[in-house]
Amino acid sequence: MKRFAHRGVMAHRPENTMSAFRLALETGADGIETDVHMTKDGVLVLIHDETLERTTDGRGQVSLYTYDELKQFNAGVRHEVEEHIPTLEELFDLVKEESVILNLEVKTDVLRYEGIESRIIESIESAGIDASRILFSSFNHETIHRLKQMRPDIEAAILLAQPLYDISGYLRFVGADSVHPHIDRITDEEVRSLQGRGIPVRPYTIKTQHQLERCMALQVDAVFVNDIEWANETT
Ligand code: G3P
Ligand code: MG
């Protein structure tokens, strides 16, 4: 079972910052999950929310700033350290020589970010990152459908926050490969049925020993955790 660092190692570093991604590499994460938004001038940036208030000292909507304006804000403010909002390109630079998988969660579930899918594909291609190291996901399944049309060879997962009737039928409809369900919104029977069809399941976000043990017993493909060392020590 692989361990993905959720927003980097957000238990110990400001989420979605270069230091959180570096700690993921240092603690042996198999994968790094991060959230992708787009600035007013089309730069792909890594931040969880559509707005700046919760994680930075900025105010307002990410999409209303150019990247030059956005990089003035401190994304480490809650940890009392200095961190900028990283670009996707910076993350690619950091992991270029590593083998870690990158789960790019495309945050089009609130704002549409016109053209974000093709920009992401261009960015992967210009960084020269191997397709096998990229895993797309989104709560917006139209985004997943578009990404799969553009690059059928790159794995793409639907994120599910709620239970869904006939998950595998729905996956075929969307053209997706795998499922990232909320850990408390999927049954053992559903996980086993998906696995029986060869569909990878990667629940999010595993925070308790009980959840981790359940995922181990089910032999899910991977889990998203806030602290890689905790996951390694607990299992
Ligand atoms: O991709 C797993 C998880 O990150 C989805 O939820 O809100 O933490 O982005 P969220
Ligand atoms: Mg996410």
Q: What is the pLDDT of residues 221-235, one digit of tens each?
A: 999 999 999 999 987
Active site residue 79: no
For ligand 1, the distance from its centroid to the CA atom of residue 183, given in whole angstroms, is 11
* Per-residue CA distances from 102 to 132, 179, 193, 224 (Å): 10, 16, 26, 12
pLDDT in tens, 20-39: 999 999 999 999 999 999 99
Which residues line ligand 1 at a C-beta cut-off of 6 Å? 6, 33, 35, 48, 105, 137, 159, 180, 204-205, 224
What CATH number should be reported for the domain holding residue 109? 3.20.20.190
Contacts of residue 187, Cβ cutoff 8 Å, sequence gap at least 6: none
User: Which domain range does residue 24 map to?
Assistant: 2-234
User: pLDDT, tens digit, for every residue of 92-141?
Assistant: 999 999 999 999 999 999 999 999 999 999 999 999 999 999 999 999 99
6 catalytic, yes or no? yes
Our count of domains for the chain comes to 1
